[in-house]
Structure 1
Amino acid sequence: MLKDIIVQNEKETRGGFGEGIYEVGKEHPEVVVLTADLAGSLKLGPFIKDFPERFVQCGIAEANMMGIAAGLTIGGKIPYTTTFANFSTGRVYDQIRQSIAYSHKNVKICASHAGLTLGEDGATHQILEDIGMMRMLPGMTVIVPCDFNQTKAATKAIATYEGPVYLRFGRPKWPNFTAADGSDFVIGKAQILNEGTNITLFACGHLVWKAIEAGRILEQRGYSVELINLHTIK
């Protein structure tokens, strides 16, 4: 039952990305990380410290960052671009569409502070339509992990996944409840968190925890609830 799901702790999903990209850097020398003046927000410190020659600070020039990333793939590199979700999609949609998606470049677009999770930064830094925008692009894989552990697992998994990927995560501390070793995450395979016969709830990202909370209320009212974490949107 949903009440049996154990919260290990509360951690930022962007922190899972930071730990994941550091491990990716150790395992894959062809990985290069680019950022648009947001190294701190994306928790890139350990990667930059140990692999400074594989870090590119593009400044507040997100469109340029996407173009550089596309070019790096031609030389066999695996670029991870990093900035907020709004600036990873809305600001640079043409560059992604033309230079990455249509030509199937192996670029990993890693987007933090997604949705409304950074309320204090205001509407200019928020975006809700990014999932829809990115899943419309040909060949683009869209992944929205639900917690710290799953974000770390996804960050590592996409390093060996051929083709463009949009990886979306958030800023705030959030309940962390998936497998610590990432063993329950597989790209393209939905995660069944609970089996049930009366109601099925689908969710992704931070809303998976909200679905767990809603499902627990339904269980208390006598319903059998199935809950599916649809982390891979496309």
Structure 2
Amino acid sequence: MPVVTPTITEVKDLKGKPVPHGSTTVETSVTLSGLASKGLEVEIFDGTATKGKAPVDPVTGIWSREVTGLSVSEHRFTAKANYGASPVSEPWVLNVIAAGLPTEDFESGFSGDEGGHIRPGASRNFPTLVVLNVSAASVSFMNFHEQLEPYSSGRPLSVIGGLVKLTLKISVKRIKFGAVDQSAYTEAKVSYFDEQGAIVHQTPIQFRAWNEYTAPDLKRIKTIEIEHTLDKGQHVFFDKFTFTY
């Protein structure tokens, strides 16, 4: 009987909804199934951590295993054969996310009384993303008490001149954010990059407005670059980011 390299052919949540490879779910329990050598056994791994063994049906060659207690993070599942030379399946990757529409308003993630300034080359961690000051003259989270509503409030991301990079902790399908300028004589653009670092869209930023973008089919957004190209020494503000997975 030829040795069959295991495969993962399907993942479903406990409601029976498919969780495709590379997708997201709010469920913390999933059931994996696949094919392997009939009547033998496979072991399921999440990264390097074992998640238990599953017998292979002696007639159909199908195996199935429920995995519970998944953390809010990326999970990379493989099925390893407990026979032959222990061949391993291709990975099945999924992201478990918190329930509800994720947002980022920069109200947490910094300390001190100086507006959380980020010097060029430095970064700051927030719940949904990491902000890196690539080349901006100023990056801070100061409230200038100007009329920024409804597009911004509290402590927005404030930029003067240059490039700021926002790296998302989990790739998303759609992004929406508010932008406000201090002066009409300012220009900025936003670029969206996929998980491989390839640019998928670039457009001028609309101020005193909502800016939103949905990635094309089979693409997800991992990184955003905001470049303040004409600043006149004036701040521009970005806030109320919402993400759709």
After TM superposition, the score normalised by the length of structure 1 is 0.24
More relative contact order, 1 or 2 (CA 8 Å, 6+ apart): 1
After TM superposition, the score normalised by the length of structure 2 is 0.24
- Between structure 1 and structure 2, the one with the greater Rg is 2
